[in-house]
């Protein structure tokens, strides 16, 4: 096992921080919160119960959720008890989006997604020991509740004026779409979740994204009114790139933690492409490297940025956390082999095929001339250009230089594929039928 991934396989909090609150603040994970001194005392004292909720609005969680999952893990490593909530009821409603009403998914679809998300959340928590995690579903306490009981017991504690001031609601009220009562009531349902978890498990802290702050404080306010006690909330920052673009999305496509939706190879390459200006902050948020280790990588970014040591460590760590050491080792081997630092024939078929799907690629019959494959993959614009490239010694197939413009593609690599290269860095995949 590579020594570079030990922290990902056996995560631990940084022992130089006496209090986990100080560590999550240093890592930039606290954008907004209830009283900071009270939180510092709470997290530095006896074990508490805390929760984070995940709504099944898709079949998989994405990188935004990974911030929450790792924050939950950090708090559990400090001795606190996590509750992972998957919203079987709130998933039927959907929290308000900034511009338009959500499409309501069927109960069957939501139920399937609940199971999928629950399995994903469970991978990031420990269910053993004195502070073992517990999974909960808010459908368990909302399904038996009648509309009259909901209005009498919960709705009476909410003031419409206060609800209208919540950022998500205010944004929708000012949009052409407006907001339905269904989505308007979402904050009440989330507040009810916190109240129920406080009553059942003595849960006194909720974490979530800062864009959910209105929903987080819905719960703290409700518990204060109903139970007369103060509980807490932490809103983590929304991760953005240094250029202001939304983190984790390219052309509208999220980076999913489900390998079937975002391949481990694509996942690894996403992190490897992190800009120098962003990589240190990403190491803080998405890895369990210590402050000393991260500061060492920060110096390398300043002095030897061409090595991209920080990006390589980031990609390896996060890929190991999400997809495991075997898949990570496979994608690293594929990445190196594709760029001439390993044996393409030694790669496993599934990893190689998924890697080639991320490159320009084409599907051709066995025996297709290399010149035609170069055109099909758009490495060249014409057959004559393909022939010139071969004559100039600038084309290789499966790692071997092509010297004859009558050569053909056979798909001899694992999985029935071939790799075309033009020049030193321009690659394409060929899927051979």
pLDDT in tens, 1-26: 345 567 887 899 999 999 999 999 99
138 closest CA partner among 102, 182, 103, 92 = 92
Q: Which of 325, 347, 369 is the last residue of a domain?
A: 347
Q: What is the pLDDT of residues 122-157, one digit of tens each?
A: 999 999 999 999 999 999 999 999 999 999 999 999
Task: Kindly report the CATH number assigned to the domain that includes residue 377.
Answer: 3.10.290.10
pLDDT at residue 294, as a whole number: 98
CB of 329 within 8 A of CB of 2?
Answer: yes
From residue 80, alpha-carbon distances to 68, 120, 205, 210 in Å are 15, 20, 10, 22
Whether 233 and 168 map to the same domain: the answer is: yes
Instruction: State how many domains the chain has.
Output: 3
> How far are the Cα atoms of 15, 48, 282, 339, 374 from residue 419, in angstroms, in the given order?
46, 54, 32, 10, 11
Residue 251 has pLDDT above 60, yes or no: no
**In this predicted structure, what is the pLDDT of residue 384?**
94
Structure confidence at residue 2 (pLDDT): 47
User: Of 318, 347, 376, which one is at a domain's C-terminal end?
Assistant: 347
Q: pLDDT at residue 252 above 70?
A: no
Helix H or strand E encompassing 383 = helix 383-391
The reported pLDDT for the residue numbered 1 is: 35
Q: Which among 238, 259, 293 is the end of a domain?
A: 238
What is the domain extent for residue 117?
31-238
Return the DSSP state at 256.
B
Q: Report the percentage of the chain scoring pLDDT > 70.
A: 98
pLDDT, residue 249, reads 63
Residues 293, 234 share a domain: no
| Mean of pLDDT over the chain | 92
- The verdict on 221 and 243 lying in the same domain is no
Q: Which residue has the higher pLDDT, 162 or 276?
A: 276
Question: Nearest-CA neighbor of 79 among 26, 133, 1?
Answer: 133
47-77: pLDDT as tens digits: 999 999 999 999 999 999 999 999 999 999 9
pLDDT at 4: 57
Read off the pLDDT of residues 379-426 as tens digits, 9 standing for 90 and up: 999 999 999 999 999 999 998 999 998 999 999 999 999 999 998 889
How much is the pLDDT for 342?
84
Question: From residue 170, how far is each of 96, 103, 156, 165, 296 by CA, in Å?
Answer: 10, 20, 21, 6, 44
How does residue 93 score in pLDDT terms, banded at 50, 70 and 90? confident
Same structural domain for residues 193 and 44? yes
């Amino acid at each position: 096992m590579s020594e570079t991934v030990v922290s990902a396989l056996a995560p631990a909090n940084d022992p130089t921080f006496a209090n986990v609150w100080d560590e999550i603040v240093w890592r930039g994970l606290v954008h907004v919160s209830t009283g900071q001194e009270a939180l510092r005392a709470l997290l530095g004292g006896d074990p508490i119960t805390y929760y984070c909720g995940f709504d099944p609005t898709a079949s998989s969680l994405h990188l935004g959720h990974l911030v929450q999952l790792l924050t939950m893990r950090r708090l559990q490593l400090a001795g606190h008890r996590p509750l992972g909530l998957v919203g079987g009821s709130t998933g039927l409603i959907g929290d308000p989006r900034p511009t338009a009403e959500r499409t309501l998914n069927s109960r069957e679809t939501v139920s399937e997604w609940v199971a999928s998300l629950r399995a994903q959340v469970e991978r990031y928590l420990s269910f053993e020991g004195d502070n073992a995690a517990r999974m909960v579903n808010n459908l368990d306490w909302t399904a038996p509740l009648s509309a009259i009981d909901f209005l009498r017991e919960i709705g009476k504690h909410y003031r419409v004026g206060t609800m209208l001031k919540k950022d998500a609601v205010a944004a929708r009220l000012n949009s052409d779409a407006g907001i339905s009562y269904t989505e308007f009531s979402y904050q009440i349902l989330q507040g009810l979740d916190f109240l129920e978890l406080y009553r059942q498990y003595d849960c006194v802290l909720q974490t979530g994204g800062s864009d959910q702050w209105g929903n987080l404080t819905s719960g703290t306010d409700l518990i204060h009114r109903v139970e007369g006690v103060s509980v807490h909330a932490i809103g983590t920052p929304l991760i953005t790139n240094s250029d202001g673009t939304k983190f984790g999305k390219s052309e509208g496509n999220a980076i999913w933690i489900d390998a079937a939706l975002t391949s481990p190879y694509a996942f690894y390459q996403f992190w490897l492409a992190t800009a120098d200006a962003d990589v240190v902050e990403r190491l803080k948020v998405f890895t369990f490297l210590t402050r000393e280790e991260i500061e060492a990588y920060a110096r390398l970014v300043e002095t030897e940025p061409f090595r991209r040591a920080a990006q390589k460590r980031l990609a390896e760590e996060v890929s190991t956390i999400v997809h495991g050491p075997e898949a990570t080792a496979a994608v690293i081997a594929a990445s190196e082999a594709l760029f001439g630092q390993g044996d393409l024939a030694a790669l496993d078929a599934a990893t190689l095929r998924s890697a080639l799907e991320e490159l320009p690629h084409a599907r051709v019959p066995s025996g297709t001339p290399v010149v035609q494959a170069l055109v099909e993959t758009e490495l060249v614009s014409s057959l004559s250009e393909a022939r010139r490239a071969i004559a100039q010694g600038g084309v290789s197939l499966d790692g071997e230089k092509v010297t004859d413009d009558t050569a053909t593609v056979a798909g001899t690599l694992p999985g029935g594929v071939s790799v075309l290269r033009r020049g030193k860095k321009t690659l394409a995949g060929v899927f051979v039928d």
